[in-house]
Chain A
Amino acid sequence: MFFVSPAKLRKAGVVGMNGRNVQLIARNNRRSLYPLVDNKVKTKEILAKAGISAPKLLGVVHHQGNIRELEDFLQKHQAFVIKPAKGSGGKGILVVSSHTDGEYTKASGETIGLRSLQRHSSNILSGLYSLGGANDVAMIEEMVHFSDTFDGFSFQGVPDIRIIVYKGFPVMAMTRLSTKASDGKANLHQGAVGVGLDLQTGQALRAVQFDRPVSHHPDTGVALQTFEVPLWSDFLLLASRCYEITSLGYLGVDIVLDKLKGPMVLELNARPGLAIQIANGSGLQPRVDAIDAMQSLVISNLSAHERAEHSMEHLSKV
């Protein structure tokens, strides 16, 4: 059947776009809190203050005058990432893995000169990559040394883990694997593979591409059922700790796995999408309801650790 009746969707606990906007976002996320997550410099600051593991902020290029200081500044850092603070959709991110004598080697292997690097920063400042074209600042942060655990699962790049946190409780998780069809992008509706993750174990539940189940990655041929996130409880703890520092009741936390430092928070999102339901093969509503059924007093007394444990134990089967 092409369409399904709304009653069936409700029974499956699926949250729709209107439901997300009205019930999850409007009721739980105060507008004044958005800048905390929309501006990545601010996010970094609150993450660092709370001691939550994240790629370290090395410096910020605030205005054009700073660009001249870039060369000296970068001498101290071998591998780094330059990106816009208010960028969206991964635009304007430049990853430099090493450099010598003004020759900067990008993650792709290509080398660029200092001039290009400076122009890139200048473009970021003038808002070329930012939402609405507003003026922006360029952040320089340390490069993540990705763990090779997920090698072969993605056509290009390294997958991150997206965890939805509702009122401080991790409620659903997935990872997005880019494919040839998605042109290396981790966007599900463009053909990336979405893998739903079991809240209890961090193991793959099921995988979908274009909303239809798949068993193997279409390009690398890896069996997707074997996808498993190590240190899973650390991931969940990291995600639930982000609730305290942002106060956002409906929050998306993107986490990457560093070879040495373990899971690190890469980005926060105040309006996480709903495709995660398709990747998991189940709706968000029952889990949201389970949290709402708990006494708010009880919730406020729980530590991030206890909330993460509660999610692992009780929510994965809801």
Chain B
Amino acid sequence: MKQRLQLIIIVTTLVVVGLSSAIYKHYSLGFSFLPSESIRTWTVESAITFTANDGPVEMIFNLPNTSDNIAVLDMSSIDSGYTFELMENQAKWSREQAKGAQKIFFRATVSSLKGGQDLVPSSFKPYARELKEPATTAANNIIAEVEKRLENRTNSPLIKSETIKSETITKAIYLLTALNNTESPDTNVLISEAKFFPTKANLAATVLNKAGIKARPVRGINLVRDQNNASLDTYIEIVDNNKLVLLNPTTAQPESRETFLSWQIDDEPLLDLIGGSGGKVAISILGGRMAAERAAVLHGHQSGSVLIDFSIYSLPIKDQNTFKLLLLIPIGALVVVVLRNLIGIPTSGTFMPILIALVFLQTKLIAGLVLFITVVGVGLVLRSYLSHLNLLLVPRISAVLVFVIIIYVAISVGSHKLGIAGGMQVTFFPMIIISWTIERMSVLWEEEGPRDVFKQGGGSLFAASLIYFAMSNSYLKHLTFSFPELLLVVLAIIIMIGSYSGYRLTELRRFEPLARGE
């Protein structure tokens, strides 16, 4: 009884300490019990190429802009021998001496921001240049015509979609439509005038401003899909009721700003090269996701809390990832304990299923199962030959280890030749564990027969699959990582099961005839 009391005290202490510190962290330090959502991110990589003129080189590259919807989190340069300098809105590379073809990679991680209000930035300046005759008259004609049409519109029934748009947007749309109408002589006059402007969009912005709409041209990328050769497209931003609206000048329709990364505003040059020629920029986009907390930390929203300094969050990201996995292993152990002591499923090797599950995390479940069964199956066939030779234990396992490596090579090379991706993943399986598994199963086969091998093998794979699901569960992942103190609770449960002397689930079946006899 004394032992029992001790057990109860230990278990209660562990549960109380674990749970209370988790609850404290939740309420006082603001750690969420639910996994924080991940947000969409994109890695935008610009490959800048040019030819240097055998002398000092200076290159200035315009940077993408953080807006209300998109945040630029992280910028880095991959170059050789250049001095890289980040300035406001621009990045500068310089080098004393360079000759021939040069290549510089500039990588930026951008993320979408939740609840962007499309607010007009304080730096917003309308783009308006003086127009010369006859362009002034042509522009006035177009504006007058549009305004007349707008007046008529109030009297006539209109398409639904247009009615919900504000007056300013409708006017801008009408104006842009008119500017695209090449049959109108006024438009043609304006188009011939466009050569005095950097782009047609600049001219369009000027006309819009003339009509009383605050507008500016902007070049940027629509982050809709992964692209290897993304182009900077030209759009027009207008101010409507203190909100920024993005218009596509060719279709004359509004576009979503949620995925729009603006890069060049007004006349900003993309690349400014001194001491070189033939500067070219190729932009590629790769989408991804990032934990919201991490994005917040990078974005500088996180208020350097002292309390967070005492959590795993204070470690470098690389080390955090190690702990992410380590902290999940007790969950795997708990699953093994439950399966063996409460349910009564036999597994070959106590913790082998956990190691197999760790591999499944990398290969994904189905591929992992197929690879495991193939390797162990072939291994068993080869090992059965060794049985006839009556080898000693250590040389025997070593021989199996060599077999396993040969099987790995065969699967990798074979699947590569057949064009099946994923065969290489076989190397994720820990060779020593696989060798021991084959050895143990082979001995089991000889001593107890194939029935027991399938029972144990099946039990092990079932356990490994369950552990895989537990370990890849985002909720459990978040809990173990953000609340490592909950491991004390896991420990308490394991200790409790350790002292459980009741029946296992499978015994309810095994001893069923005994209960019937009563």
B511 cross-chain contacts in A, Cβ below 8 A: 4, 9, 12, 14, 16, 277-278, 283
Taken together as a complex, chains A and B put the C-alpha atoms of A5 and B516 apart, in Å, by: 11
Nearest CB in chain A to that of B511: its residue = A14
Of the candidates A1, A17, A19, A128, the one whose C-beta lies within 8 Å of that of B512 is A1
Contact A277 B514 (CB under 8 A): yes
* B515 part of interface (Cβ distance < 8 Å): yes
Minimum Cβ distance to chain A for residue B496 (Å): 12
Contact B512 A212 (CB under 8 A): no
* B318 part of interface (Cβ distance < 8 Å): no
Of the candidates A18, A19, A183, A208, the one whose C-beta lies within 8 Å of that of B449 is A183
Contact A12 B515 (CB under 8 A): yes
Taken together as a complex, chains A and B put the C-alpha atoms of A208 and B390 apart, in Å, by: 36
Nearest CB in chain B to that of A127: its residue = B393
Contact A22 B501 (CB under 8 A): yes
Contact A5 B508 (CB under 8 A): yes
Taken together as a complex, chains A and B put the C-alpha atoms of A187 and B504 apart, in Å, by: 21
Using A278-B514, A281-B514 as known contacts, say yes or no to A9 and B504 having CB atoms under 8 A apart: no
Taken together as a complex, chains A and B put the C-alpha atoms of A187 and B515 apart, in Å, by: 23
Contact A6 B393 (CB under 8 A): no
Minimum Cβ distance to chain B for residue A185 (Å): 8
Contact B507 A9 (CB under 8 A): yes
Scan A90-102; emit 1 where CB is below 8 A from any B CB, else 0. Answer: 0100000000000
Using A126-B392, A190-B448 as known contacts, say yes or no to A282 and B508 having CB atoms under 8 A apart: no
B518 cross-chain contacts in A, Cβ below 8 A: 8, 11-12
* B148 part of interface (Cβ distance < 8 Å): no
Contact A12 B504 (CB under 8 A): no
Using A12-B514, A278-B511 as known contacts, say yes or no to A128 and B501 having CB atoms under 8 A apart: no
B448 cross-chain contacts in A, Cβ below 8 A: 187, 190
Contact B447 A11 (CB under 8 A): no
* A178 part of interface (Cβ distance < 8 Å): no
Query: Which residues of chain B from 493 to 518 have any CB-CB distance to chain A below 8 Å in the complex?
Result: 499-505, 507-518
Contact B517 A2 (CB under 8 A): no
A9 cross-chain contacts in B, Cβ below 8 A: 503, 507-508, 511, 514-515
Query: Which residues of chain B from 439 to 462 have any CB-CB distance to chain A below 8 Å in the complex?
Result: 447-449, 451-452
Nearest CB in chain A to that of B447: its residue = A89
A12 cross-chain contacts in B, Cβ below 8 A: 511, 514-515, 517-518
Scan A199-237; emit 1 where CB is below 8 A from any B CB, else 0. Answer: 000000000100111000000000000000000000000
Of the candidates B393, B507, B512, B514, the one whose C-beta lies within 8 Å of that of A2 is B512
Minimum Cβ distance to chain B for residue A83 (Å): 15
Q: Which of B341, B516, B518 is packed against the most chain A CB atoms within 10 Å?
A: B518
B341 cross-chain contacts in A, Cβ below 8 A: 18
B507 cross-chain contacts in A, Cβ below 8 A: 9, 14, 16-17
Using A3-B508, A6-B508, A128-B393 as known contacts, say yes or no to A19 and B502 having CB atoms under 8 A apart: yes
Minimum Cβ distance to chain B for residue A70 (Å): 18
* A175 part of interface (Cβ distance < 8 Å): no
Nearest CB in chain B to that of A21: its residue = B501
Query: Which residues of chain A from 127 to 176 have any CB-CB distance to chain B below 8 Å in the complex?
Result: 127-128, 133
Contact A283 B512 (CB under 8 A): no
Scan A274-318; emit 1 where CB is below 8 A from any B CB, else 0. Answer: 000110011100000000000000000000000000000000000
Minimum Cβ distance to chain B for residue A146 (Å): 24
A17 cross-chain contacts in B, Cβ below 8 A: 344, 504, 507
Minimum Cβ distance to chain A for residue B289 (Å): 44
* A29 part of interface (Cβ distance < 8 Å): no
Of the candidates B504, B505, B514, the one whose C-beta lies within 8 Å of that of A282 is B514
Using A12-B514, A12-B517, A190-B449 as known contacts, say yes or no to A6 and B344 having CB atoms under 8 A apart: no
B516 cross-chain contacts in A, Cβ below 8 A: 4
B515 cross-chain contacts in A, Cβ below 8 A: 4, 8-9, 11-12, 14
A19 cross-chain contacts in B, Cβ below 8 A: 501-503
Using A89-B447, A183-B449 as known contacts, say yes or no to A16 and B504 having CB atoms under 8 A apart: yes
Q: Which of A18, A183, A187 is packed against the most chain B CB atoms within 10 Å?
A: A18
Contact A14 B501 (CB under 8 A): no
* A23 part of interface (Cβ distance < 8 Å): yes
Contact B509 A3 (CB under 8 A): yes
Report the contact-size class of chain A (Cβ under 8 Å from the partner).
Answer: 35 or more
A213 cross-chain contacts in B, Cβ below 8 A: 513
B449 cross-chain contacts in A, Cβ below 8 A: 183, 190
Taken together as a complex, chains A and B put the C-alpha atoms of A302 and B11 apart, in Å, by: 41
Of the candidates A16, A22, A282, the one whose C-beta lies within 8 Å of that of B503 is A16
Scan B389-402; emit 1 where CB is below 8 A from any A CB, else 0. Answer: 01011100000000
Taken together as a complex, chains A and B put the C-alpha atoms of A8 and B394 apart, in Å, by: 48
* A123 part of interface (Cβ distance < 8 Å): yes
Taken together as a complex, chains A and B put the C-alpha atoms of A22 and B501 apart, in Å, by: 6
Taken together as a complex, chains A and B put the C-alpha atoms of A208 and B512 apart, in Å, by: 13
Contact B502 A4 (CB under 8 A): no
Q: Which of A14, A187, A281 is packed against the most chain B CB atoms within 10 Å?
A: A14
Taken together as a complex, chains A and B put the C-alpha atoms of A281 and B512 apart, in Å, by: 10
Of the candidates A1, A18, A89, A281, the one whose C-beta lies within 8 Å of that of B517 is A281
Minimum Cβ distance to chain A for residue B153 (Å): 76
Q: Which of B393, B515, B517 is packed against the most chain A CB atoms within 10 Å?
A: B515
Taken together as a complex, chains A and B put the C-alpha atoms of A127 and B452 apart, in Å, by: 23
A208 cross-chain contacts in B, Cβ below 8 A: 513
Nearest CB in chain B to that of A90: its residue = B447
Contact B393 A133 (CB under 8 A): yes
B501 cross-chain contacts in A, Cβ below 8 A: 16, 18-19, 21-23
A277 cross-chain contacts in B, Cβ below 8 A: 511, 514
A126 cross-chain contacts in B, Cβ below 8 A: 392-393
Using A187-B448, A190-B451 as known contacts, say yes or no to A18 and B504 having CB atoms under 8 A apart: yes
Taken together as a complex, chains A and B put the C-alpha atoms of A1 and B511 apart, in Å, by: 12
B393 cross-chain contacts in A, Cβ below 8 A: 126-128, 133
Of the candidates A4, A6, A123, A212, the one whose C-beta lies within 8 Å of that of B390 is A123
Using A281-B514, A281-B517, A283-B514 as known contacts, say yes or no to A91 and B508 having CB atoms under 8 A apart: no
Contact B447 A18 (CB under 8 A): no
Nearest CB in chain A to that of B503: its residue = A16
B451 cross-chain contacts in A, Cβ below 8 A: 190
A5 cross-chain contacts in B, Cβ below 8 A: 508
Nearest CB in chain A to that of B394: its residue = A133
Contact A91 B447 (CB under 8 A): yes
A22 cross-chain contacts in B, Cβ below 8 A: 499-501
Q: Which of A4, A21, A23 is packed against the most chain B CB atoms within 10 Å?
A: A4
Minimum Cβ distance to chain A for residue B353 (Å): 19
B509 cross-chain contacts in A, Cβ below 8 A: 2-4
Taken together as a complex, chains A and B put the C-alpha atoms of A21 and B508 apart, in Å, by: 17
Minimum Cβ distance to chain A for residue B309 (Å): 44
A16 cross-chain contacts in B, Cβ below 8 A: 501-504, 507, 511
Nearest CB in chain A to that of B512: its residue = A4
Known: A123-B392, A283-B511. 10 other contacts (CB 8 A): A2-B512, A3-B508, A5-B508, A9-B503, A12-B517, A14-B507, A19-B502, A22-B499, A127-B393, A281-B514
Which are the 8 A-B pairs with shortest beta-carbon distances?
A: A133-B393, A16-B503, A22-B501, A8-B515, A19-B501, A4-B515, A4-B512, A3-B508
Give me 23 A-to-B residue pairs in the complex whose CB atoms sit less than 8 angstroms apart, sorted by A's number: A2-B509, A2-B512, A3-B512, A4-B508, A6-B508, A8-B515, A12-B517, A16-B501, A19-B502, A19-B503, A22-B499, A23-B501, A119-B390, A127-B393, A128-B390, A128-B393, A190-B452, A208-B513, A212-B513, A277-B511, A277-B514, A278-B511, A283-B514
